[in-house]
Amino acid sequence: MIYLDHNATTPLHPGVFEAMLPYLKEHQGNPSSLYRPGRTAKAAIENARGRIADRLGCSPREIVFTSGGTEADNLALRGAARALKDRGTHIVTSGVEHHAVLHTCRALADDGFQVTYLPVGENGQVDPDDVARSFTPRTILASIMLANNETGVINPVEEIAEVAAKRGVLFHTDAVQALGKIPLHVATLGADLATFSGHKIYGPKGSGFLYLKHGTPLAPVTTGGRHEFGLRAGTENVAAIVGLAEAVVLVCDAVENEANRLEKLRSRLEDGIVQRLSSVRLNGSAARRVPNTSNFSFRGVDGESIVIALDIEGICVSTGSACSTGDPEPSHVLLAMGLSGRDAQGAIRVSLGKDTTETDIDVTVEKIAQVVGRLRAVSSVE
């Protein structure tokens, strides 16, 4: 099998598995318990927090563990909105965010908040000037993702953070698809809140964290015990947290070499496809992108048919976000970039990872060329 859907999820790194094992087999204490097994579990969590903070350039107190990216996005948006609702009720985001942000904004709108969804340019990026223009005296929060999960397009988040800071607006960025793909330090990003997920970086599923800059107002979303500085009630998943920290360390330490390697492989893929097939669009390629992601539109074919045909050949790619599988609507990200419904419907995402080889790429180019050629020959789509 050739697995090229690393933006959907990644396989567990063997080193991560090893790091987790003692906390599944031996150290089973509740981290909130006072006796020794409890203290061992608690120490493992605090050690994990410290290792993550060290790699991201922040203080351990600024890391709040969650059950993944979706929960961290929810905590950031709902938590900030609740904490600041007496100051204002306007929130700014973009039309290309992950559903974890978009649907949370929708829920906040149902609760009486006003949400502005900013457009993106043809290249898929949010313009910092648009962000500045959208602010009103009632704006409390802006949430703009760092790297898009479907196209890999990187937003000018540092500039947006500056605009927000100048106007006293809290700034959140969903950095799930950026960690491990580009060098990343939260201090240089300038965000007040940032979301991260474990299973996109060879860590366990159901793990993640929110970076919360010291002093940022946030109300808890779940209520219960005093876990995670009172911001996220619930007994911690100790093994997952330990694995998550190991994954963060491994990807951050490898990021520069790996980014170069992936960029070369991606060029090989994109050049190969463009040479072999006509009427191909490389969505988002005019902007800076994370180095592992390609998004192609093949005129005259349906993306889902390509995915199914490649699956039969033993190659895993996707039409876009894994969370949208089964959704007959074309990608909201590609439509927001100005693609026609037809071009958006013909899109596939190929996302490379740490085990991807040149041979994988060459086989994939060949198979995509064959599959698209075959589908086009029988297609009724213009």
Residues in contact with ligand PLP by the rule CB under 6 A: 68-70, 73, 98, 100, 145, 149, 174, 176-177, 197, 199, 208, 323
Q: Provide CB contacts within 8 A for 350, sequence distance 6+.
A: 4, 5, 269, 293, 294, 295, 296, 317, 364
> In the complex, what is the shortest distance from the CB of residue 377 to ligand PLP, in angstroms, rounded to a whole number?
34
Q: Which is nearer to ligand PLP, 216 or 324 (CB)?
A: 324
Report DSSP letters for 182-197, one per residue: B---HHHH--SEEEEE
> In the complex, what is the shortest distance from the CB of residue 101 to ligand PLP, in angstroms, rounded to a whole number?
7
> In the complex, what is the shortest distance from the CB of residue 379 to ligand PLP, in angstroms, rounded to a whole number?
30
Q: How far apart (Å, rounded) are the C-alpha atoms in residues 273 and 295?
A: 11
CA Rg value for the chain? 21
User: Does residue 323 carry a catalytic annotation?
Assistant: yes
Q: Which is nearer to ligand PLP, 174 or 246 (CB)?
A: 174
Of the candidates 41, 17, 39, the residue with the CA atom closest to the CA atom of residue 28: 41
Report DSSP letters for 137-175, one per residue: TTEEEEE--SB-TTT-BBP-HHHHHHHHHHTT-EEEEE-
> In the complex, what is the shortest distance from the CB of residue 276 to ligand PLP, in angstroms, rounded to a whole number?
29
Q: Provide CB contacts within 8 A for 354, sequence distance 6+.
A: 10, 13, 202, 254, 258
30 three-class SS: coil
Q: How far apart (Å, rounded) are the C-alpha atoms in residues 275 and 273?
A: 5
Q: Which is nearer to ligand PLP, 97 or 258 (CB)?
A: 97
> In the complex, what is the shortest distance from the CB of residue 216 to ligand PLP, in angstroms, rounded to a whole number?
19
- Torsion sign, CA atoms 125, 130, 135, 136: negative
CB 294 within 8 A of CB 310: no
SS3 content of the chain, % helix, strand, coil (to 5): 45, 15, 40
Select which of 58, 105, 252, 323 is catalytic.
323
Q: Which is nearer to ligand PLP, 29 or 353 (CB)?
A: 353
> In the complex, what is the shortest distance from the CB of residue 77 to ligand PLP, in angstroms, rounded to a whole number?
12
Q: Which is nearer to ligand PLP, 160 or 375 (CB)?
A: 160
Residue sitting closest to ligand PLP (CB): 69
Q: Which is nearer to ligand PLP, 29 or 198 (CB)?
A: 198
Residues belonging to the active site: 323
